[in-house]
Amino acid sequence: MKALAITPATIALDLSGVAYTLRKFESDTVTGFGKEAAIGMEVDQDQVFKTILFGDKQMAVVAIAPVSRKISAKRLAAAVGVRTLEPMQPALAQKMSGYVLGGISPFGQKKQLDTVVDSSADNFEAIYVSGGRRGLEICIAPTDLIHALNALVAHIHAE
């Protein structure tokens, strides 16, 4: 049996036919979810990617970048061709994505938003992104993630 968990993210991936695996880990914090995932799964923090929503009700962008790095709002804004972007307020991010903080997956969100994946994803054969709940990660090839989300690839992490 393939499924360890059924979330909107895994349903979306199953419907798209994209290959992925799931990894569970114990989650007991309320902050630092991505780093907690890397530690819990015993993988490099550069290989675990966080999903952060930027913008507001009028203009929203999904940024996917390593948990080991900060996302540069300036670089992200430039990548999508706008002047400025700020991280979305947590309550709005939860409402727009349909997920709780620490479990926001780039897959299966309520509405498909413009998505930018940090170019460092190309350094790995597989990366980890949230599976749609705390303590659940999707392991996926970066090319499959980019294709499934119709994502733009850009250098969006801060130096």
Is-contact 148 107, C-beta < 8 A? yes
Sign of CA dihedral 38, 22, 105, 75: positive
CATH code that applies to domain 8-154: 3.90.960.10
* CA separation, residue 116 to residues 34, 93, 95, 155 (Å): 18, 16, 20, 9
pLDDT in tens, 54-89: 998 889 999 999 999 999 999 999 999 999 999 999
pLDDT in tens, 107-131: 999 988 999 999 999 999 999 999 9
User: Domain coordinates of the chain in residue numbers?
Assistant: 8-154
Q: Which of 76, 117, 111 is nearest to 97 (CA)?
A: 111
Distance spanning both ends of the chain, measured CA to CA: 42
